[in-house]
Chains A and B, each alone.
Chain A
Amino acid sequence: MNGHDELIDLLGAYALDALDDDERHAVDEHLAVCADCRAEVDQHLEVAAALGTTAASVAPDELWSVIANHIGDGPSEVPVPTFLSPSEPAPVVHLADRRRPPIGWIAGLAAAAVVIVVLAAGLVQVARDNQDLQEQVALPPPAASIDDLAAAALDNPASRVLELTSDSGDETATAVVTPNGDGYLVRSTLDPLSPDRTYQLWNIGAAGAVSLGVLGNDPGTSAFHVQGPVTTLAITAEQAGGVPSPQNIPLVTSTA
């Protein structure tokens, strides 16, 4: 049983875990090569999940305690960052500082049309040292007023204007990028941070998260430059000086 026509009638039962092992394996193999069937299974799984929610209960706090204790026991399998060469030892990672290294699943997320999924794609892909980062921190203001340049970019009909918003929609920012890659953060509603923190701007693409610059703890109009296509812009709050790859959940992200 390997053909599409033979397997398609099993997709509903597959989504309900109602196949025996042989059939499940056959469907698994087919799904790996059939996007149509994957899409159908995904829809069935959503229906199954809706069915599942009809049984919703309340999980006791004590149960969380067990889970929290378990995951707090320490990194049982902290993976070696892929950006280390094989000869380099894995770093000692303290629990509070545990950071998952670049891993392939993020690339999978990058394929999603949903912007935040694209954003996810970049969060752990890029490894740069802080020296490089500092060199790309906000371009020095040119002789002309940065506000004038930003205004000119906004007036350029070929420029791309990106609106960045938070999940709640409460916080927003606006950036404009000219065809040659010159960009300006022209507005934001982000609250000022403490002096030891900074906002940082990222361009998120399939290849990862590329820092476009450190914006300071109370960003005004800021200039940056983008090499290559602008996919999704995101702003995170990071430690002062910036970080080579995002360490915190993006506060605002651009929509498609």
Chain B
Amino acid sequence: MTDDMPRSSTDHRHASDVNLVIAIGRYDQDALAEVYRRHSGAVLGLALRLLRERSLAEDIVQTVFIRFWDHPDRFDAERGALRSYLLAQTHGRSVDLIRAESARHRREERVGSSDARHRDDDLEREVVDLAAAEQVKDILDTLPDGERDAIELAYFEGHTYKEVAVVLDQPEGTVKSRIRSGLKRMGTELRKAGIEAPQ
């Protein structure tokens, strides 16, 4: 299987994510290609959103998929969807990068140009499921300001809740409670909207 674009068989195209994971466990490269086809856009998009630098974000994508190839056993289907797992890996690794002092320094230097870069990214960005993504954004917007701000700063900016507390000038306890209550509120609304787990 090579190489310029992910190719997968018709069987793989119709296989569920869980069956693809099983196949990857058997070192089926076409299965990984299909997983990449399905989820790489979400993985890259989140990494870009967090890191604001394409080369770093693409490094994250590589890391996430190669590690998934090496350790498909770490995905537990009982605990959530495959995309959720891959995005959690993406987020964690991106945040690790952000929190590394050198990366943070470089990132802060880029803040001034981040808006322009975002617009460039937007031009090439193609939301896989635009309707669902818009629903998620709408639901996020319905949260009380304190919850929404805390979640956005933590998730999309990679801050710890203690850092968020400083940014928002709120007690740490308030911030961690708002993150939790906001996520619960969002979960309820997402389930109502039928987009509980991204597929």
Contacts and interface: CB of A to CB of B under 8 A. Distances in A.
B111 interface: no
Contacts of B183: 12, 15-16, 43-44, 47-48
B62 A105 contact: no
Interface string B125-151: 111110011001100100000000001
A92 interface: no
Contacts of B1: 68, 72
Contact of A56 (B45, B77, B176): B45
A49 B87 contact: yes
B38 to A, nearest CB: 11
Which among B20, B22, B73 has the greatest number of chain A C-beta atoms within 10 A?
A: B22
B124 interface: yes
Interface in B41-73: 41-46, 48-49, 58, 61-62, 65-66, 69-70, 72-73
Contact of A53 (B77, B87, B164): B87
Given A45-B84, A61-B4, A114-B77, A51 B151 contact: yes
B130 to A, nearest CB: 9
A49 B80 contact: yes
Given A13-B180, A57-B126, A166-B14, A120 B77 contact: yes
Say whether chain A's binding surface is mostly helix, strand, loop, or mixed.
helix
A132 interface: no
Given A12-B182, A53-B136, A54-B133, A70 B25 contact: no
Interface string B83-99: 11001101110010000
A62 interface: yes
B90 A99 contact: no
Given A12-B176, A58-B125, A117-B78, A249 B41 contact: no
B78 A61 contact: no
Contacts of B124: 57-58
A47 B87 contact: no
Interface stretch (A17-25, A80-88, A155-163, A185-193): A17-25
A64 B5 contact: yes
Contact of B27 (A46, A50, A99): A99
B17 to A, nearest CB: 9
Interface of B: 1-6, 11-12, 14-16, 18-23, 25-27, 29, 31-33, 36, 40-46, 48-49, 58, 61-62, 65-66, 69-70, 72-81, 83-84, 87-88, 90-92, 95, 121, 124-129, 132-133, 136-137, 140, 151, 154-156, 158-162, 164, 173, 176-177, 179-184, 186-187, 190, 195-198
